[in-house]
Amino acid sequence: MEIESITVQADYCFGEQPLQLRELKKVNFIFAPNGAGKSTISSMLARQPSDAAQRTNWDVAPTNLPIRVFNEAYRSRVLTEHVNGIFTMGDTSKTINDQIDTLKSEIRDRTSERDKWNKEIGSGPDENTANGLLGEIESNRVAARKSIFSAHKDIDESVIPIVFEGYRNSQDKFFDEARKRFGEIQSLNSDVDWEPIKTRARSLSSGKKVRVRLPSITTVSLISADDVAEVASKSSHGQGGNFAEFIQHLNNEDWVSKGRDYVDEARGRCPFCQNQVPANLEHDLAQYFEGGFDAALQRSIRIESIVNANAAKLEGEISALEIALTGDAEIAEEDFNPAISRVRDAAKLLISQLHERSAHPTQPIAVSDVDSVVSELAQLVDDENEKIEQHKQIVENAGVERGKLVSDGWVAFLSGTAVSIEMKKFNGFELRKQKVITGLRTKITESEGQDSLANSKIENLQKSISNTSDVADKINKLLTAMGFHRFRLSSAGESSGGYRIVREDDTPAFDSLSEGEKSFICFAYFWESLFGSEVASGVPEDVVAVIDDPISSLDSDALFMIAAYIRDAAKLATKGTTNLRQLIVLTHNTQFHHEAAYTSDRNSQERRYFRLVKDLSGFTTVRDDKNESKIRGSYALLWHSVVEAARTEDESDLVRVGVFNIVRRILEGYFKTIGNVKDFDRLKDVSPTDERIVSQFHIWANSGSHTIADDIDQTIDVGRTKDFLRLFKQYFDIQRHGAHFDMMVAASGGESLLESDQLFARL
């Protein structure tokens, strides 16, 4: 895999934070002035670990490919009188070479395919940089993790601290534990009741606090079934006596019976009408009522008395229960109050009915016992006493009970419909993606095995044809083409396996070489080494090439030639047809950057451009220009400023004067260079001010900007900068160079300004 990012820690250059270059492509150009950190970066890359496993995890530039670095340290190391050998294939046997080329091509294709598979697999441990299939899994995991972690917050507060202890401060730990327990549950029950779990949790939270059993309700009935039947039946009344017919006619024997209590005190008068009564009135009334009324009255009074006694006992039990309820903070009194009220209301009703019956002992009354409502209350007491007993057992076996509670709580939580659905959804998604990943990794392993076999074949084919002479020939031809005729490379022989730098008469020439000659031959050596092996009969390995300012002490011809080689290297890295997998070029020279970075494909997604810039603190920062170089010459920068001024809404004096000076430099530089500035007739349909400005443009184009007319900016009002630029475009049209104006505006990113409704539109 190629290098995707570079991280360099150098406090003296980059400050406390490391310099980071991200999202590198197959071809990368880094432009920076001297002292901005180019050498620091190349030197750090040159320290790549030699072990392949360590390379992949190297925190500076992780890659499984070896990094070949061309910099000043490389020149010092390589340029000695005896240059270490570079062994590569010769063309002794075309058949063997063709076979080797085919094998290498197959290896490159498989490597490219593995890179594609690895990219498809992606990475997932870090949710911020996750990508590929593993990234999809991580993204879904994060969503499921958040959803399930949020769900536990809806559970009763008495349960959360116990059941989820140790997992509440980390969503990852919580989700991992939930997944583990979810996998252990054999069957899920969505009807799990949380209430017993909450009760047990409160018991555990109470420590060693003991709860007292509630007093039982033993009085479950106030009236017997026989007595209910008694009061519901109509009792017989008196039949004899002189008043029998009269009392029955009145149908009010209860009222008459009550009057008997006043006969003795009436002193011969009727207690009802106060008239003189017969002497035998009391005898006649007694004769009537002794026939059954008095017996019925006594039975009613007895029943009422028994019920009152039972009711008093029941009330005492209820009062004791209320006191016990108030003393137990774990009990919600409101759960008992309705049942207690129903019992009391039923008892009061029964007592009231029986009292009424005693007033009318011969009249039937339908009454109900309180047993049903008392049984309801008694059941509540029994249920709570069962909870109290469970509390006692939990307190006495807190350790064991806590473990059971945690297990039951997780089961209840994971059995919930929403949590269960979310967990099953994620597990299913992960299973599907992991199957695809497993398949891709199997392919990668098989592909690597095929590479191993191919490399063995290449090594066997290589043994008979490896030599150094062809590399020496290539470098010597390059030296001749560049005009270096005073020296050449000579093979040092099969035994030593290297080259020597010699004169035409084979005498050593190293000590008499100029710095430019040494630099060029060193680069030529580096170039050939990229496509060869450092060991006889070795197989050229895929590499990342890092080239740091290769044009030191070179003239313009050599600069052009090296730039051409770098352009070729960029094409090779992009196409992937050789073992050069990635190219990184660092330079401070604008001309060399333009030459080396030139490409006809300006929107290539396989290129990346960076600038290193020193801030006010003296430390270097990175500017990422994506896939478009922002390095321009002075003339291009002037046009870029024109485009920026055309877009800005700023009409300040600073902007206005700056634009005038930029336009002066463009007109003077462009028209003085190409010459042939033509006069023009007086403009029509323009204001005197506009005509004055266009005329001034003509003066600048002919004789330069430093004339008495330098104060032109004083004649232009604030707010007319856009009009000034429009006249600037018009002057190019007058001189028949409008195409150049359009080209430079478009090249500076101002294509939109040339559209029909924009500032530089033509009518």
Q: Is 339 exposed, middle or buried (0-12, 13-18, 19+ CB in 10 A)?
A: buried
pLDDT at 718: 46
pLDDT at 280: 58
Across 33-37, average pLDDT: 84
The full set of domain ranges for the chain reads 1-66+541-548+555-630, 72-88+465-540, 93-154+416-460, 215-236+300-401, 237-291, 634-754
pLDDT at 448: 92
Across 207-213, average pLDDT: 66
- When mean pLDDT is compared across 270-274, 281-285, 361-365, 721-725, the lowest value belongs to 281-285
Q: What is the DSSP secondary structure assignment for residue 59, as one 8-state letter?
A: S
Q: Which of helix, strand or coil describes residue 621?
A: strand
pLDDT beyond 80 at 177: yes
Q: What is the DSSP secondary structure assignment for residue 754, as one 8-state letter?
A: G
pLDDT at 553: 60
pLDDT at 714: 44
Give the tens place of pLDDT for each residue, 531-560.
765 554 556 788 999 999 887 666 666 677
Sheet of 620-624: strands edge to edge? 67-70, 543-548, 580-587, 27-31, 607-614, 620-624
Across 373-379, average pLDDT: 89
pLDDT beyond 70 at 192: no
Across 106-131, average pLDDT: 83
- When mean pLDDT is compared across 78-82, 649-653, 757-761, the lowest value belongs to 78-82
Q: Tell me the whole-structure pTM to 2 decimals.
A: 0.46
pLDDT at 90: 34
Q: Using CA atoms, how far apart are residues 70 and 447, in angstroms rounded to an integer?
A: 32
Most confident of 191-205, 355-369, 407-421, 740-754: 740-754
Q: Using CA atoms, how far apart are residues 385 and 387, in angstroms rounded to an integer?
A: 5
Instruction: Decide which of 513 and 495 is more confident.
Output: 513
∠282-285-291 over CA atoms, to 5°? 135
CA distances from 78 to 81, 194, 565, 762 (A): 9, 77, 20, 60
- The H or E element spanning position 307 is helix 293-327
Determine phi and psi for 165, rounding to 5 degrees. -60, 130
Q: Is 374 exposed, middle or buried (0-12, 13-18, 19+ CB in 10 A)?
A: buried
- Residue 167: CA count within 13 A, CB half-sphere: 20
Q: Using CA atoms, how far apart are residues 658 and 664, in angstroms rounded to an integer?
A: 10
Across 383-404, average pLDDT: 70
Q: Using CA atoms, how far apart are residues 307 and 319, in angstroms rounded to an integer?
A: 18
Structure tokens at 585: 């070029």
Instruction: Decide which of 605 and 28 is more confident.
Output: 28
Structure tokens at 670: 């462009």
pLDDT at 441: 92
- Residue 537: CA count within 13 A, CB half-sphere: 9
| The residue count for the chain | 763
Q: Is domain 1-66+541-548+555-630 in CATH 3.40.50, yes or no?
A: yes
Instruction: Decide which of 696 and 539 is more confident.
Output: 696
Q: Are 3 and 548 in contact (CB under 8 A)?
A: no
Q: What is the DSSP secondary structure assignment for residue 87, as one 8-state letter?
A: B
Summary mean pLDDT of the chain: 78
∠758-737-735 over CA atoms, to 5°? 105
In the chain the first and final C-alpha atoms are separated, in Å, by 54
Give the tens place of pLDDT for each residue, 304-322.
889 899 889 988 988 888 8
Instruction: Decide which of 423 and 96 is more confident.
Output: 423
Q: Are 517 and 551 in contact (CB under 8 A)?
A: no
Structure tokens at 349: 């009703």
Q: Using CA atoms, how far apart are residues 339 and 376, in angstroms rounded to an integer?
A: 7
Most confident of 181-185, 440-444, 528-532: 440-444
Q: Are 350 and 222 in contact (CB under 8 A)?
A: yes
Across 278-289, average pLDDT: 57
* 585: confidence class by pLDDT, cuts 50, 70, 90: very high
- When mean pLDDT is compared across 188-192, 523-527, 663-667, the lowest value belongs to 188-192
- Residue 91: CA count within 13 A, CB half-sphere: 4
pLDDT beyond 70 at 298: yes
Q: Which residues lie closer than 8 Å to 87 by C-beta, 6 or more apart?
A: 466, 467, 468, 471, 497, 532, 533, 534, 535, 536, 537, 538
pLDDT at 473: 79
Across 193-206, average pLDDT: 68
Measuring CA to CA, which residue among 240, 183, 686 is closest to residue 410? Answer: 183
Q: Using CA atoms, how far apart are residues 164 and 409, in angstroms rounded to an integer?
A: 8
* 494: confidence class by pLDDT, cuts 50, 70, 90: very low
Structure tokens at 412: 């209840």
Q: Which residues lie closer than 8 Å to 263 by C-beta, 6 or more apart?
A: 271, 281, 282, 285
pLDDT at 451: 92
Q: Which of helix, strand or coil describes residue 730?
A: helix
How many CB atoms are located within 10 Å of the residue 205 CB? 12
Determine phi and psi for 740, rounding to 5 degrees. -65, -40
Most confident of 206-210, 641-645, 682-686: 641-645
- Tell me which residue has tokens 């005509």: 691
pLDDT at 212: 73
Question: In terms of DSSP H, where are the helices of 397-416?
Answer: 398-415
pLDDT at 255: 55
pLDDT at 294: 66
